[in-house]
Amino acid sequence: MNSQGDEARTGVCRCGRSVDDPATLAVARYRGLGWLLFVIGITPTPTQIDFVCPSCRHLFGSSSAPEVCLRYKFRSS
């Protein structure tokens, strides 16, 4: 991954999940223009992706690297 806007994505949460667990959520974050595009029916590219445990909401890390944001553009989790 690119170091631009990335945090370390390591560790295990109190539930015992890691960032590599299939249940780990990739939560897309958008800025104001992104939300406006949603309203008019266009899918914007997220500005940041947060990797979160679905049970305890532990944040494993986040990325604002363009290639990571594009990878999660059409995923909903």
Residue 20 pLDDT grade (very low, low, confident, very high; cuts 50, 70, 90): confident
The answer to whether the CB of 28 falls within 8 A of the CB of 38 is: no
Check pLDDT > 80 for residue 37: yes
User: What average pLDDT does the segment 65-74 reach?
Assistant: 91
> Could you list the residue range(s) of the whole structural domain that residue 35 is in?
1-77
Amino acid letter, 42: I
Number of domains in the chain: 1
Amino acid letter, 70: L
Residue 66 pLDDT grade (very low, low, confident, very high; cuts 50, 70, 90): very high
Q: What was the pLDDT predicted at 10? A: 60
